Structure formats: C-alpha cells, structure tokens
Structure 1
Amino acid sequence: MAKQRGYPDRRGMGAQSDFLSETFVPSESHRAKQLAMARDLVRTGSKPEDVAHMLSLPIDLVNRALAEDL
C-alpha cells in the first residue's frame, strides 16, 4: 500500500524544516533592518523585552543596539 500524501516518512515531520533552518543564515543587512525596527519600536514606547520577543532577537542584542543609539 502506498503512503498517503501528507504523512511523515521515516525522517519525521521536522526533517524538512530542520534542513531549512540549518541552511538559512541571515545576512548582515537583514540583521541591520531588524535592529532598526527594534530601535523604532522602543522609541515609540514599546518595552525592549517585548520588541525582542516580537522580532525573535536576543534581549542583549536589542539593549546593545539601544546603547549604541544614545
């Protein structure tokens, strides 16, 4: 009997997404855009912790970007 479409193979459901996450490396321009967005959001009154969570950034990276901005 053939395997129905949409069912996992022996590698498991996460095999494809694991491969993508291992091969995707954000560029410096992507990181710079994220930090610029983080600065703008904090300037408008958002908490740095919330911004870090929204943008999936480490909180220390957001704090460092804010310190450089001052």
Structure 2
Amino acid sequence: MKDVVSGLLDIITPLAIIGILVSAIGMYLSTEEHNRERFKKSLISISIVTIIAFMAQGIIKWLEVKF
C-alpha cells in the first residue's frame, strides 16, 4: 500500500503545483469579479485535495491500526 501512495504522490505533486499556479494567476489577472471568485474557489479546492493527498500515508496507517 505504501508503494501505491508513493506513486500517487509522484503524480499529484506536479499536478497540484500546476493547478495552484494556474488558479492563482487566473485570480490575479481576472477582471470580472465572478471569474475571480471561481478561481478563488478552485484554488481552495485544489489546496484541500493536495493536503489530503499528502496526508494519505498517515491516514492509511491510522485506518490499518483501527481496523
């Protein structure tokens, strides 16, 4: 299971960095307030998913201990 999480992190890390950069730049360059809010929501969503992905190894260990 550790190999799966490690492989997943190898894929998620660059995608998350690209997604965060695109959302931040889009939010900064957007001229309409509606679009700026959408970029802000996507930035928050990508950040939350990235944090959960980095915590996956610990979550799996905790689940193995509990069950």
Sort the TM-score into its range (normalised by shorter chain). Answer: 0.3 to 0.5
Which one has a larger percent helix, Structure 1 or Structure 2? 2
Q: Max radius of gyration: which structure? A: 1
Bigger RCO of structures 1 and 2 (CA < 8 A, at least 6 apart) = 2
